[in-house]
Amino acid sequence: MKKQVFLIALLFVIVSGGYGQRKISELTLVYDASVTTGNAEPRIADAFDGATNTIYLKGNMSRSEMVSALFSSTTIHDSKTGAAVVMREVSGQKLLIRMTAADWQNKNEKYKGITFKNTGETKEIAGYNCVKAEAIMNDGASFVVYYTTDIIPENKEYDYHFRTLNGLPLEYELKQGKLTIRYTVSKINMNPVPASKFDIPTSGYREMKYEESKNIKM
């Protein structure tokens, strides 16, 4: 009898601890981007203002599409192998950059060891209660993120910034040079993502390696 009571109590603790949380393997997120601060050249600000960033998750695969009136950039990443492909298009230039797992780590070096400190503030975004946290990087730089613990992506590698975040970011601010860009989720879709989203083009792009791409400014 005592054993049965203990098992029931243990089950209650487990269920209560995960109440409200959903681990999701397939997910589509659409973020609206806006410039919140900075006095940079207007053309640079226009490149981000009104832009959208769409994230597709399917198992170990992720696809991020940043699109604005002036440029587009798509990244397909395989968390199983660590490899990635980046496709960029600006002013008629179309580049496809292949990245090894080591390249991907190098590209995101500054985000290694990032920590998140909850502030105690909350707000509702897209119908989800979100906690405000300060993200602190190794170099001392920081940014703000609001995240929900109601949705937990199974693939935590889709965005290097949030690999160790205990939830899903629904609003955050990142610095791009002199600009601070705010990304706020506008759509959340949990329907299956077509596998074709992760197909890599075989033509129409100038291909190059990651090391080569470091010397090109677009």
> 89-100, pLDDT tens digit by residue?
987 889 999 999
In what helix (H) or strand (E) does residue 19 lie, and over which residues does it extend? Answer: none
Task: Report which of 105, 109, 116, 94 is spatially closest to residue 168, judged by C-alpha positions.
Answer: 116
Q: Of residues 175 and 120, which shows the higher confidence score? A: 120
pTM score, whole prediction: 0.84
pLDDT of residue 13: 36
pLDDT of residue 11: 38
Which range, of 39-43, 67-71, 112-116, averages the lowest pLDDT? 39-43
- Which alpha helices (H) appear in 82-172, and where do they start and end? 101-107
Domain topology for 20-196: outer membrane lipoprotein receptor (LolB), chain A (2.50.20)
Q: How many CB atoms lie within 10 A of CB 124?
A: 11
pLDDT at residue 42 tops 80: no
DSSP secondary structure letter of residue 183? E
Per-residue confidence at 176, pLDDT binned at 50, 70, 90?
confident
Per-residue confidence at 44, pLDDT binned at 50, 70, 90?
low
Per-residue confidence at 38, pLDDT binned at 50, 70, 90?
low
Ranges of each domain in the chain: 20-196
Residues 147, 131 contacting (CB under 8 angstroms):
yes
Which range, of 8-12, 28-32, 78-82, 152-156, averages the lowest pLDDT? 8-12
pLDDT at residue 119 tops 70: yes
φ and ψ of 108, to 5 deg: -105, 20
Mean pLDDT across the chain, nearest whole number?
86
Return the sign of the alpha-carbon dihedral for residues 55, 86, 176, 65. Answer: negative
Average pLDDT estimate for 106-115: 92
Residue appearing with tokens 């009898």: 1
